[in-house]
Structure 1
Amino acid sequence: MAAAPDEDAEAFMRTLTRTNPAAASWVLDEIATAHGERHPSPAAPAGKASDGDDDPQQVPAVARRLREATLCWLAGLEALGPLLARHEQGRLIPWAVQLGHDWLTVAQARPGILDEDLVAWADLASLPNPLTQFHHRTSFPAPHGRLACWERARSQLRQALADRLRQRTLPVAPTSPLATERAWFLARQIMAKGHYSRVGRHIRLSDLQAELDILKDQSATYVRASWQWGGRKVDSDDVRWLSTHLHHVQGGTLASPRPPADRMSPPPRFFWQTYSPALTQSITADVLRDALIGYRDLVELNFPRFGAALGLYSIFPVRAEGVVVMHANEPQPQPATVIYALRPDTTSAPQDQPVVDLRLSGELPPPAGSFWTNVGEDRSGVVHEEALLPYHDRQATNLAYRWLAEDLHAVGWLERTVSYSD
């Protein structure tokens, strides 16, 4: 790619983005690094004379290249594409474009505004009320350099991807552990309205559906609505998702996915002290197992063409081995810590439930021994360490999304990693 003439490099990118967008993204960044700059541009940008700067009725060539690059990335992203760029009837919505003073303005048209997918619009950059005709309008330096349109198209898509990752709302199957955690997390917000003592460990579906119906009625006349209680926000997309998910819930109640605390007497100073070492160990093992399943669900449903370009997914099937550090015979002065490694599991099939093997230790670092030596010194997996809060609702979700964000950052699909907490 780096050595090829510009025309051949463009052709390679068209093939690579449709085949494996993760590999294409990594290659794009490697080429930019090799050149020592993000947008190496020739002294006289190729094709600038035909970009339409002097003819407002002609679609600039740079806009055509940018839209083609966007379509190629979207083809590689498959089902995820419409979540990152507006589509109508399965197609990327039409663009109105204007090139002036080497700045390109792109506006995403509302239905019925444009008859073609790409149209030159002479006064687009100075429209007084663009939202009446367009969903969104943006201006940026025209991407003239080598493969610059591919970088620009990716940057637009990865901003939308970063938003989805921050919100933890990528699609998963209703049976995924991440769907179970999301349903309980949202249901608690809606039923508690900031007062969590109102909600026990089970929520009647009839009561929850009644609250969802109220919220849907309130948002019926808005494109998007949101509600906030106790610092937590729920929006209309969450409400619609939860209402649909309830059709997959068996029985008449929605239950917390984790067991309750087992040390409520005498009353503890900190809530994590209500969980015994044995229960903390059990919950942590469940969380790691659900996180690995959830990570696999996220990749296979949303990034099917990324495959082995994603670091953790490339070693599936995996097993988790580690140590939960928690004082056994005295009040826990701080949250428990889990130290674990994720390693390839040659004894399991790809869709088997991941094996999780956690030991319990009363000191940090754990005492020397064959098990800890294997965890700390075996280079076949990366060792992780983090605090445990067994009462958090989305621990598996946070872990799965963190692993995914690290993998996407490594191949250039995230500008920076994302931190997750509740």
Structure 2
Amino acid sequence: MERPEDWRQERAQVLAHARVVVIKVGSAVLTDAQGLSETVLEGLAGQLVRLAAPTERLPDGRRLVLVSSGAVAAGRTVLAARGRQVDATGLAARQAAAAVGQGRLMQAWDTVFHVHGVPTAQVLLTRDDLRSRQRFLNARNTFAELLQWRVLPIVNENDTVSVSELKFGDNDCLASLLVNLTGADLFINLTSAPGVLAADPQREPDAPVMEHIDDVAALDLGRLCGGKTSAGTGGMYSKLLAARRAAQIGVPTLILPGRAPDVLSHAFAPAGADSGAAPLAGTWVRPAGHAIPRRKFWLAYQSEPAGGVSVDAGAAQALLRKGGSLLPGGVRQVEGAFQKGALVRVLHEGRSLGVGLSNYSAADLKKIMGLRRHEVAAILGDAHYPEVIHRDNLLLDAAV
């Protein structure tokens, strides 16, 4: 679909035609002082069922993927009810609390969807499941089969077995990667905020909600966003970072207040309908004008960068303006102890230019940085690569 000039027209078109939608809901939406809110879960389930129902434009209905936080918060509540107050700030404590709460979270979702006759499937993932290309494809096939069966996948990070280097960091990151894996047309993020505020609310409490964001990559997220929420691990920073990833593959994001009554029903109401008479809710984050290949998306976000390479001005110019590859002569500094094939940051004067797969280990790269091709051959022999990072394995302006 060609991108309309007007964001309202774009939003109306996408909401009317989106066949596969990834919806992420945060802990701050689902929980209160007593734990999981049954009222909130029931309300969201009803809205999602209506969202998936057949329409004139979509006679087969929409396929939905639900990414749900709340396991840690639910686990803390279960333990508190038994007189055990848990400080779940450390990794081990959070993983243990998630193990307690994940079953409670899934049971709560299954109960509210069972009322509507919608079967659910629990899917727990670690980053390693998406880093391996074979496991990525297996996961994609599983999701495709579940959606074909009209089963609702309910996804969460497999906190109990995740180690720090394999964690997504938060479910905003996980959801953005699922947008790619499932081939989604739209990403919806339900949050405790009314939308994206025009300034950090901790500094400007009266900052208005931004109705739309034309270019999320141009925002200074550190200045714009406040801290994390008390119930979860995200905050608006991670939501906009996730929206930026989705935008890179041509998928828009709708950030909505998850506790607003019938917020999804209002958002998807046809133009001119009674329920659409109120002002548009939340923030519409527009997709990039030119989508990157999904393979580049996968390689850039499959794992956290294992190190970094700093480049000189000439190399930065070749990468940014000429679409070139990174050659050994342009490397000035190597950070970290990564292996051949690792994902690394590319930096210039402290600024991240992007990420890519290194053809060299850090140890070998330190031997050849700054050298020309014949000098590299003299050190490493003929079995070497002309490029440190080939342009086909490089994503500039990566949201990491």
TM-score w.r.t. length of structure 2: 0.23
Larger radius of gyration: 1
